Structure 1
Amino acid sequence: MDPRTSAQDVMRCDLCETAVVQMHCDTCLVNLCKACVGEHMISDESKKHEIVKFKLRKTTPQYPGCTFHRERCEMYCKQCDSPVCISCIASDQHKGHAFLKMLQLLDERKNKIMKDLIELNETIYPTYQDIASDVQSRMSQLEKEYGDLSTAITKHGEDWHREIDKLVKKLKAKVDEIKSTQLQTLQKHLDEINKNISDIKDEIDSNNVIVNENDISKLFNINRYRDLPEKYVPSLPKFTPGRIGELCKLFGVLSASSLSSVKHGYTMKTTQKSPEAGSSPPVKRLLDEPETVTTIDTDYSRNVHLYNVACLSDEEIWTNGNDNTMKLYSINQGSLLKSITTTSGNKPQDIAVTKSGDLVYIDYDDRTVNIVKNEKIEVVIRLQNWKPCGVCSTSSGDFLVIMIRNDDKQTKVVRYSGSTEKQKQSIQLDDKGNSLYSSDSYIRYIKENKNLDTCVSDNGATAVVVVNQAGKLRFRYTGHTPAPKNEPFYPRGISTDSQSHILTADLFNDCVHIIDQDGQFLRYIDCGLSRPYGLCIYTNDNLFVAQWVNKQVKKFKYLK
């Protein structure tokens, strides 16, 4: 029995084929014993070999076996649309063909699965939920309208004598029969829709597993869910009362009824996005020098510092400091319009404005996220073992909340739809199981970018941490040198604009950093700022900066 292929034997070194595997090269995906590590390192000096202990190796892709040779297929033939091994490539069968590395194909297919998962989660699944709701609504409406029909027949029957009672009962029975038939048809239709909804949920769960297993042989097709079900539109029979006379003819008859289906009666639900995300925004370039448009003096008391600013419009802004009051100011007039006091009496940790114009604030000590509607405060989210640090309202109308655990040892971002935590929408760890965010400070701010990245200003990590829609780390921005005052980078408020630029306040360098969506530094805004803390950008890309010490809000134009 060959010890290398025996299921009872331990794994052997790929070089000497005799010694037990102890190490692994993540670059070449080769298993090694300690004695062969040096030989492997010098075998190809053009590569940067990453040698790790075997148990710490990265997940190895599941290469398919070749159907013609006893080798694994590490390449993919584009012309033949099939995996191939090294021997296949050398054969005449694939002469002149173009090949892809299986790892590249794996990434492409994983990207496709991720896009399909997004479509299932955000488009197809909500569409089927809406369809089910529509059918249920139609069934309820049928109940009401058929009830009205029965009432009309009954009222007309009461005007007649006892001898027509049988006819009344007969017609009502006919109504009930028609109603029953149509409701049974709609119920069957609803059952089919609910089954599709269940299947879609199973597909989502199944393909999340596929992504984690890196198994490219398991693909699925969601096209059958894109072909939406037929839409049934029932029509009611019409009751036409007749004159008293020949009972059967004159009392009244029911017109014909129908329950027809419309092939394209439903349309796919589109993900709700902000106006900027609905189409490609016009390209805007940075001004050579940012322009100060106006300065607003707030009326916070002497011992209060100004922290945050949130735009209600381009003319009205909400602010808060380290007291328990949030204030609405007019930009043009520079006057106070409204004041709101927190329910608990605690200071708001962060504030934001929803798409509908409602004010949202974080109560860190009370562990709540609150919304202000018509000057009445409602608790939207109440946490148990976590404390909220920052909040933003997303393009889809959800909330992103960054929070720290009560023992100050873990930090995560959670997406909420209203007060409901969205399943599998928690962001906490990177691919290696390490925490994406620090737990050293409660000063954190969060914003969703136009490309749907989640951007966190992590003061404890002295970095801006950006992850994609799937929660995968894209980059960390740790500042730029030289800084205007050569002070360490401790980011505070964060915001994004129509160009997917990310802006963050640098408190001790008296400036705002502008980076692109990939983390590349573009420039500073440092014209006359003093201890910038909170940031907000409205839809027309004007920047509002709340200054910590002098309690002023400055409005800048920085794009042309």
Structure 2
Amino acid sequence: MDPRTSAQDVMRCDLCETAVVQMHCDTCLVNLCKACVGEHMISDQSKKHEIVPFQLRKSTPLYPICKLHHNQQCTLYCNQCDIPVCTKCIASDQHLSHKFSEILQIVDKKKHKIIEEQTELNETIFPTYQDIASDVQNRMSQLEKEYGDLSTAITKHGEDWHREIDKLVQKLKTGIDEMKNTQLQSLQKQLDEINKTMSDIKDDINSVDMVLDTNDLSMLFSVTSNVNIYRNLPPKLAPSLPKFNTEKIQGEKLDKLFGTLLSSSLTSDKHGYSIKTSQKSAEAGFSPPVKQMLDEPETVTIIDTGYRKFFYHVACLSDDDIWTSGDDNRMKLYSINQGSLLKSIRTKSGNTPTDIAVTKSGDLVYTDYKDRTVNIVKEKIEEVIRLQNWKPCGVCSTSSGDLLVTMENDDGKKTKVVRYTGFTEKQTIQFDDQSKPLYSSGRYSRYITENRNLDICVSDYFAKAVVVVNQAGKLRFRYTGHTPGPNNKPFDPRGITTDSQGHILTADYNNECVHLIDQDGQFLRYIDCGLSEPWGLCTDTNDNLFVTQLINRKVKKINYHC
């Protein structure tokens, strides 16, 4: 049997190409049988051949060759110069007093770092890019749908115009027919009268001819002349045509009447995505499956809270329970499905809570404007933040467990957002890049939430805007409403929340609806569901929306996703 053609899965010597491999040269990376080892050793005597058993191949390190000293291997590493060096380099003046390490020690560190980076690439960075690619594809699909909807809306609007124009044309033509018939009837009446007169004249002419042809003088004296009557000619009717007043069709004027298309934009935010990790704080970087919105949002549940006069705030403890607060000093926990009161807690100071939120650990936190405090409810109420010269307004708990608090100074002329980590102030957000205030001055009505991409969203009542900054506090955009509103009134933002899709939702008190916008500030839709004086908002993990109603003191649970 020919050994070169049998057992093709057995590795053969690179020199003789027949014998089975038994040895390996780690220097030349050549597979050898024992018989060919000697031949290989003398084939290139300039190298130091490291011959090892085939099973131990690549176990001998191949040291880098020194760039300054030919054929010298670099077995050491200069820590100061951060380069491999050989023994001749060490003896040179270039590395005097430098510290050296065994190059294999440096290699182990580099391998460890490379393995860590490879792990990061495999487990965090690549999955994050997969999520981003999926997010972009979903945005493209959504964009196709929304542009299609926009084109359909324009077509429908054009059809409406055509119907109205056809009605107007028919109305004008009917008017023309009525005017024509009236004038024709008048002319026809006159024509009938003229024809009768002409017949009478012919009769008179015939009578006169008969008298003139007779010699009976009595007949001559009996003739009565009507010439004087016939000399009074009928009036000349001159009908005037109606005028059709038209305006010259001007492109710009017609555009304004029909409707204009506002310019689109594609913004780029380097903070829009974040690396996906296994930690809870990375939830903002996770892209959940895209949910389609219902054609018409629907009310699922209505709960009557029984507050004395006004009902302000709501915060989800879970998908089954919600915390609420109104115009008294009580914060109430309700069962959503049963609509029953589970717990009622009195504020520590006896003041009305300014805002409420639920932390990641499930604790209730509330702000006390009059008392200048932020408090957390555990087994008992604990004061965790006390302010000086400032008063807290809105509060929210972030994905990392921090607290974000909107606050204003004592005279109500300055407003800022402060981030607390472990109840220690870590970040202040107050001014934009031009050192201008990000938020308006005025008292009370400023609510806050964090979006999935870690943007900080503030509902600024006095500015009539939603102000959105990124995690670093840099202004991304201001949303000032969408016109026309359902009630044709100015945008009046109150409570604010976000959902798993990165949408921002804010209550519009004037227009009795909720505005739904995307994370870049583009208007998506209104949600009304018969809302009355909407104020506070929150969403649960299934993106159900809870809306408080100020006057009737009821909270509505609304589903707007499929």
TM-score normalised over the length of structure 1: 0.51
Distance 2:353 2:368 in 1: 5
Q: Please report how far the alpha carbon of residue 428 of structure 1 lies from its aligned counterpart in structure 2 after TM superposition.
A: 0.5
* SS in structure 2 at match of 1:492: strand
* SS in structure 2 at match of 1:339: strand
Deviations 1:258-317 (A, max 9, x none): xxxxxxxxxx9968436853632001122110011111111223xx20000000011100
Trace 1:405-424 onto structure 2 (pairs within 5 A): 405-422=409-426
Distance 1:409 1:311 in 2: 32
1:294 aligns with 2:298: no
Counterpart among 426, 444, 447 of residue 445 in structure 1: 447
* SS in structure 2 at match of 1:277: helix
Structure with higher Rg: it is: 2
Q: Which residue of structure 1 aligns with residue 537 of structure 2?
A: 535
Distance 1:429 1:355 in 2: 29
Trace 1:11-50 onto structure 2 (pairs within 5 A): none
Deviations 1:166-209 (A, max 9, x none): xxxxxxxxxxxxxxxxxxxxxxxxxxxxxxxxxxxxxxxxxxxx
Distance 1:350 1:439 in 2: 18
Distance 1:488 1:400 in 2: 28
Q: Please report how far the alpha carbon of residue 336 of structure 1 lies from its aligned counterpart in structure 2 after TM superposition.
A: 0.5
Amino acid at match of 1:354: T
Q: Please report how far the alpha carbon of residue 418 of structure 1 lies from its aligned counterpart in structure 2 after TM superposition.
A: 2.2
Distance 1:380 1:417 in 2: 11
Q: Which residue of structure 1 aligns with residue 559 of structure 2?
A: 557
Q: Please report how far the alpha carbon of residue 327 of structure 1 lies from its aligned counterpart in structure 2 after TM superposition.
A: 0.4
The answer to whether the 8 Å contact 2:283/2:399 transfers is no
Trace 1:193-232 onto structure 2 (pairs within 5 A): none
* SS in structure 1 at match of 2:280: coil
Counterpart among 359, 364, 386 of residue 359 in structure 1: 364
- CA change 1:555–1:325 in 2 (3 A) is same
Distance 1:437 1:417 in 2: 22
- CA change 1:329–1:510 in 2 (3 A) is same
The answer to whether the 8 Å contact 1:413/1:427 transfers is yes
Q: CA RMSD in A?
A: 2.2
Amino acid at match of 2:412: D
Distance 1:475 1:553 in 2: 30
1:389 aligns with 2:396: no
Q: Please report how far the alpha carbon of residue 559 of structure 1 lies from its aligned counterpart in structure 2 after TM superposition.
A: 1.2
Q: Which residue of structure 2 aligns with residue 328 of structure 1?
A: 333
Counterpart among 277, 280, 289 of residue 287 in structure 2: 280
The answer to whether the 8 Å contact 1:272/1:395 transfers is no
Q: Which ranges in structure 1 are unaligned for 5 or more consecutive residues? A: 1-222, 228-267
Amino acid at match of 2:454: L
* SS in structure 2 at match of 1:549: coil
Q: Which residue of structure 2 aligns with residue 349 of structure 1?
A: 354
Q: Which residue of structure 1 aligns with residue 438 of structure 2?
A: 436
The answer to whether the 8 Å contact 1:272/1:397 transfers is no
Trace 1:111-510 onto structure 2 (pairs within 5 A): 272-273=279-280, 276-277=283-284, 279-301=286-308, 304-374=309-379, 376-422=380-426, 425-510=427-512
* SS in structure 2 at match of 1:362: strand
Amino acid at match of 1:283: V
* SS in structure 2 at match of 1:441: coil
Q: Which residue of structure 2 aligns with residue 100 of structure 1?
A: none
* SS in structure 2 at match of 1:528: coil
Distance 1:370 1:337 in 2: 21
Deviations 1:429-460 (A, max 9, x none): 00001000001232100000000000000001
The answer to whether the 8 Å contact 2:307/2:327 transfers is no
Distance 1:361 1:318 in 2: 11
* SS in structure 1 at match of 2:284: helix
Counterpart among 493, 513, 516 of residue 514 in structure 1: 516
Distance 2:360 2:446 in 1: 22
Deviations 1:326-384 (A, max 9, x none): 0000111111010000111110000000111100000001111000002x100111111
- CA change 1:435–1:280 in 2 (3 A) is same
Q: Please report how far the alpha carbon of residue 322 of structure 1 lies from its aligned counterpart in structure 2 after TM superposition.
A: 1.3
- Count of equivalent residues: 294
The answer to whether the 8 Å contact 1:318/1:328 transfers is yes
TM-score normalised over the length of structure 2: 0.51
Distance 1:273 1:428 in 2: 28
- CA change 1:369–1:498 in 2 (3 A) is same
The answer to whether the 8 Å contact 1:380/1:418 transfers is no
- Tell me the percent identity: 74
Q: Please report how far the alpha carbon of residue 407 of structure 1 lies from its aligned counterpart in structure 2 after TM superposition.
A: 2.2
- CA change 1:288–1:338 in 2 (3 A) is same
Amino acid at match of 1:326: M
Distance 1:488 1:271 in 2: 44
Distance 1:293 1:460 in 2: 32
The answer to whether the 8 Å contact 1:271/1:396 transfers is no
The answer to whether the 8 Å contact 1:272/1:396 transfers is no
